[in-house]
Amino acid sequence: MGLYPLPISRFSAFALLVLFFIAAPLVMSEYYLTLLSLVAIATVGALGLNILLGYAGQLSIGHAAFMSVGAYTAANLATKFDLPFLITLPAGGLMAAAIGIIVGVPSLRIKGVYLAIATLAAQFIIEWIINHSPSISGGAQASIEVARPTLLGERLDSPTELYYFLLIVAVVAVIATQNLVRSRVGRAFVAIRDQDIAAEIIGISVFKYKLYAFAISSFYAGVTGVLYTYYLGIASYEQFQLGVSIDYLAMVIIGGLGSVLGSVFGAFFISLLPIAIRLVMENVGSLFVEPDVLAQSISQLRQILFGVLIIFFLIVEPDGLNRLWINVRNYFRVWPFSH
């Protein structure tokens, strides 16, 4: 039980598992389960980006492009060779990891803003290549329909079954990341992030570990893409454009850089934000403005709020929601004695 040294954290991890595996499907309607499924998918992607940006300190604006690599790999394997998701899922991840290594190679020579712009270029170039290669993208629509995943001969058709499937993958991803960041590799990432020259001097091969970071992060992104594909039933490059990369950047920044729990917080926050805005606007906003104006202003309001939140967290709480959580926890840990 090295992952959870304290009894209280063992207990809360267990309680969360019970909550999401048993209580949530019993209590929630299918609509809310599909929302939680989206959060589960986003969690995997946010963990991947947090490994790269939060732990290894390498900025990537092309995270969604790696998702599209995973998505199209899995979709092609599933439709052309009729492979089950137990094979297409890791295959999509591995393909994305391979592309991630190629994109990561320049990170040896360039960093900071140059790396950001290079990964931005990767986003456009990967998107263009997929879109213009009919053998990858499946013809004029550039989208491939995929059947629901089957497990032990049973198709996961209902939202509840799909929710369990996505939740298991997300839990595996969380535990794998927690293990990764306390391993030799994870500590090497942190050393490179904090001072790359010092890391090189104490014997960490910076090049090797930067490529590891890109490969692992892209693997997560590829898996995320595969999950989106199975969730939506279709692989389409429109699901993985620049805006999605930025959504994931916002998740790790608002959630908390260099924190596994923060990635989960960020995934919850950013995935549910548009739905929360819509709920509030439909119930409160309809009192003030016409319905058709309202429908239009919801997407605009989402963008504004999204931007404001990113800037707010950057300026006021750079460590994100995770820091807020730690503050609350520390307050109650010693409560009622504040010192």
Partner 1 sequence: MSGNMAFAIELFGQGVANGLMYSLVALGFVLIYKATDAINFAQGEFVMIAGIVISALASAAYEFPLWLALFAGLIFMIVFNIALERVVLRPLIGRPIVAIIMATIGLAFILRGIGPMVFGAAPRGITLPIEDYPVIIGPFFFTPIQLLGAGTSILFLLIFGWFFLKTRKGVAMRAVADSHQVSGAMGINVERYFALAWVMAGIVAMLGGVLWGSASGVDTQLALVGLKVFPVVILGGLDSIIGVVIGGIIIGVAEALAAGFIDPYVGGGTKDFTPYVLMIIMLMIRPYGLLGRKLIERI
Q: What residues line the site for partner 1 (CB under 8 A)?
A: 53, 59, 106, 108-114, 116-118, 120-121, 124-125, 128, 131-132, 196-197, 200, 206, 246, 249-250, 253, 296-297, 300-304, 306-311, 314-315, 318
Q: List for the chain the helix, strand, coil content (%; round to 5).
A: 80, 5, 20
Shortest reach from residue 134's CB to partner 1, in Å? 9
Shortest reach from residue 328's CB to partner 1, in Å? 24
Query: What's the rounded Cα separation, in Å, for the pair 57 and 322?
Result: 18
Shortest reach from residue 105's CB to partner 1, in Å? 9
Question: Would you say 140 or 152 has its CB closer to partner 1?
Answer: 140
CA 325 from chain centre, in angstroms, equals: 20
Question: Would you say 283 or 300 has its CB closer to partner 1?
Answer: 300
CA distances, 180 to each of 78, 210, 220, 263 (Å)? 30, 15, 13, 15
Dihedral sign (CA 265, 266, 271, 275): positive
Six-digit token string for 104 = 């990561």
At residue 242, φ and ψ (nearest 5 deg) are -50, -40
Shortest reach from residue 312's CB to partner 1, in Å? 9
Shortest reach from residue 46's CB to partner 1, in Å? 14
At residue 301, φ and ψ (nearest 5 deg) are -65, -35
H helices then E strands: how many in the chain? 15, 4
CA angle 281, 285, 289 (to 5 degrees): 135
Six-digit token string for 113 = 């803003």
Question: Would you say 167 or 277 has its CB closer to partner 1?
Answer: 277
Question: Would you say 143 or 178 has its CB closer to partner 1?
Answer: 143
Six-digit token string for 165 = 């499937």
Beta bridge partners of 151: 154
**Collapsing DSSP states into helix, strand and coil, what is residue 29?**
coil
CA 134 from chain centre, in angstroms, equals: 28
Residue 200, burial from CB neighbour count under 10 angstroms (0-12, 13-18, 19+): middle
Shortest reach from residue 230's CB to partner 1, in Å? 28
Question: Would you say 157 or 194 has its CB closer to partner 1?
Answer: 194
Query: What's the rounded Cα separation, in Å, for the pair 5 and 146?
Result: 42
Shortest reach from residue 59's CB to partner 1, in Å? 5
Shortest reach from residue 315's CB to partner 1, in Å? 5
Question: Would you say 34 or 131 has its CB closer to partner 1?
Answer: 131
Question: Would you say 312 or 331 has its CB closer to partner 1?
Answer: 312
Question: Would you say 16 or 105 has its CB closer to partner 1?
Answer: 105
